[in-house]
Every structure is written in C-alpha cells, then in structure tokens.
Structure 1
C-alpha cells in the first residue's frame, strides 16, 4: 500500500514528521485516492466541513498526540 496520508492544513508539525518518515502528505479535500489514513485535529470540526467527502480510510484525531504517536497509530493500521 502506498504511504499516502491526508492531513489537515493546520497540522504542519505532523505533516513534516510524516514526510521525514517517507509518507506522501495530501490535503483531506484532495481528490487523490489511495490514502491510508486521514489525520484531523478535533473530531467536532466536521473534518474541515468536508462532510460530503467519502473515504474508507480511518480518521485519526491527533488532538493531544505527538507526531511520533500519530506515526505509530498509522503504522499500527498496516
């Protein structure tokens, strides 16, 4: 599986950590398929108002998590 992850724009530290670890980072609103997870900050924000976006990828709420914890969570999905 491609190491592609959708990450909210305001999570720049997590984006950088993912890229350093070989992940391709795309926007949650990207039409680019094949993502393995969607990383958001706060589940109550309706995924940045993209309620009509359909993905089978798991959504990870990064609230209170370090970049290393997010990467660990993504890797546990594989």
Structure 2
C-alpha cells in the first residue's frame, strides 16, 4: 500500500487510511512528506504570500469539506 502523509489535525483520516492498510505518516514539517505518495492537508493553513516551495512530488489531497471515507476513495482511485 501507499505511504501517505496526513496533517496532524486530521486524525480521523489517518485512522481510516490505516484501517485500509496504508502506511500513514503525520506531517509535522515539510521533510515528513519526502517519500510519500500522497499528502492530505486540511487547507486551513492559507498561503497568503503566494510562495511555492516544493518539498515533495506527492499528490496533494485537500480534505476541506470531505469525509474520511471520501478521502480514502480518492487515494484508492489514484492508486489504480
């Protein structure tokens, strides 16, 4: 299964992904996303300065407005 970085505040998403067999890493700093296939973020940390430093090539899933099951479905669809 995929290695997925999940923002600290999204514990329900982390649990749902673990239950489906994925390797979940808590994203505490940018370097935690280094070897991840996907990163799930809440979108609450807005980029007000418009800076775009890239720390990973992982696909980013914005969790805002999605349930944990919907996020899991997105991950599994992208893995196919």
TM-score range, shorter chain: 0.7 to 0.9
Q: What are the ranges of 5 or more consecutive residues in structure 1 without an aligned counterpart?
A: none
Moved over 6 A (4+): none
The two structures have a TM-score, normalised by structure 2, of 0.76
Which structure 2 residue ranges, 5 or more long, are not aligned?
Answer: none
- Matched ranges for 1:1-78 at <5 A: 2-28=1-27, 29=29, 30-31=31-32, 33-42=34-43, 44-46=45-47, 52=53, 54-78=55-79
Aligned-CA RMSD value? 2.1
Write 1 or 2 for the structure with the bigger share of strand: 2
User: Aligned to 2:46, what secondary structure does the other structure show?
Assistant: helix
Normalising by the residue count of structure 1, what TM-score does the alignment of the two structures yield?
0.78
